[in-house]
Amino acid sequence: MLKKLILSAKAAGSEEEYNSILEWVDKRNKDLKVFITQNSLSDSDNWFYDEKTGEIRNKNNSFFQIRGLRQYKDGRTIFEQPVLIQSEIGYLGIICKEIDGVLQFLMQAKIEPGNVNKIQISPTIQATKSNFTQQHGGKKPPYLDYFLNAQKHTILFDQIQSEQSSRFLGKRNRNIMIKVDDEVEALPSHKWMTLGQIKRLMKIDNLVNMDTRTVLSCIPYSLFNLDPKEKAAITELFSDKALANSMFDTCDREDFIKVYRYINDYKMLNMASREIVPLKVLSNWNFSEREIVHKTGWPFKVIFCDIEIEGREVTHWTQPLFKAEGIAIFGLLTKVIDGKRKFLVHALAEAGCFDGMELAPSVQLEAGCSRDKYDEVSEVFFRLYEDKSRVRIDVILSEEGGRFYHEQNRNIIVEALDGELDKLPPGYFWLDFKTLNSMVQFNNVLNIQLRNLMSLIEF
């Protein structure tokens, strides 16, 4: 199975096949009628501010709520903001199948209200629990039964992974991939693609959505047992031999110990606490009919929208969206150490994190972050980024458009040289691909920003 995955990642297909995907997306965009306007909360017949609970919610109390989040330390408030509360776990699922001897993935051209460019390439199924239990009264998502009955097929992985901890409180989704052997019809909204084609499409700004990227990051490349002959044959398929060594050589047990010791110390000894509070008591935020906005500047604000989109389970509705106030930067430093490619990751605590702390990219800077907040690693990262010969990947990609409006992030992977950042600040670790790929098989270890960057790595 591993060789089939790698061969699919190397199978970019012909230019004609690649262009047909772009034409498919373009045609669906042209045929799609989308109307999104910002309105007032009072204009909605379904969403309102509940004075008793201090939250924005809909009349069914489904989908999600928005409340205030405060964090305290030593008896004082150190942080406060609106936060999305969506305790239900949704499906992010991809079906794959061998077609003409090549492993292909059934991808969806899906519109979300907050998408910057309307349609993006999404997993086979991308559905909240409210969606697939039809609480909205709409149609059941296509292909749902494959995932509800996943045990009938080959399950490549099935994990609960975190979402954006700077926007959600403890939000998680079920990332799952299944391989099927029976015939699966691709609906007009779906198309079969090789992994190589998807990775090539990831180089286009805002085309492959966040949900696809997080699912692909979970593929357990490093967990297949290989004998020396098999490893040699698969390594030959890699243009980056140091990456192959990073994926398939034995990982360092001491790396696991160091990382988990640091994270567990934080979880055990951190003295900060958090509390859910009514939105209107957030002292640094202004709550008006049209928006909830920070008084002096924050990476996002809350807006209220009227949305009409053809072809969805429900075609017209209103809802709040978190609107980004700029473009964030997520950066990953990489270098070859003793013949293995390693990646610099950071154990990062975020106020909405389900388990307090997760591994993050080398650099994770929200929109508007000033240079005086850069640490040593950020300074080195941006110095290296200025040398464009060091840049391996640089692409603007969107966050999830069902809750976030036009939120884009610059995703960058930069090559460092031997000797750079050999001595690290506390909480930073050089880890090989196998260690990270092993850790991502467990819930809530790698954050979504790091998982997204890992999905961009080419073999």
User: Where in the chain are the domains?
Assistant: 251-271+326-455
Task: Assign a CATH topology to domain 251-271+326-455.
Answer: Nucleoside Triphosphate Pyrophosphohydrolase (3.90.79)
Confidence of residue 425 (pLDDT cuts 50, 70, 90): very high
CA 433/CA 335 separation, integer angstroms: 12
Map residue 380 onto helix, strand or coil.
helix
Percent of the chain at pLDDT exceeding 90: 84
pLDDT for the residue 137: 59
Report pLDDT digits (tens) over 82-139: 999 998 899 999 999 999 999 999 999 999 999 999 999 999 999 877 666 656 556 7
pLDDT value at residue 136: 57
**Strand runs (DSSP E) across 53-205, as ranges?**
55-58, 65-73, 76-85, 90-99, 102-111, 119-122, 125-127, 154-162, 172-179, 190-194
pLDDT confidence of residue 134: 58
**Angstrom distance (rounded) from CA 333 to CA 343:** 6
Calculate Rg over the CA atoms of the chain: 22
The torsion angles phi and psi of 219, rounded to 5 degrees, stand at: -55, 125
137 dihedral zone (left: phi>0; alpha: psi -120 to 50; beta): left
- Region 262-286: mean pLDDT is 95
Residue 279 clears pLDDT 90, i.e. is over it: yes
How confident is the model over 330-387, as pLDDT tens digits? 999 999 999 999 999 999 999 899 989 999 999 999 987 766 678 999 999 999 999 9
According to the model, what pLDDT value does residue 432 have?
A: 97
Q: What pLDDT score does 99 carry?
A: 96
> pLDDT digits over 207-243, tens only?
999 999 999 999 999 888 888 899 999 999 999 999 9
Query: How wide is the angle at C-alpha 339 spanned by C-alphas 334 and 341, nearest 5°?
Result: 25
**If DSSP states are collapsed to H, E and C, what string results for 68-92?**
EEEEEECCEEEEEEEEEECCCCEEE
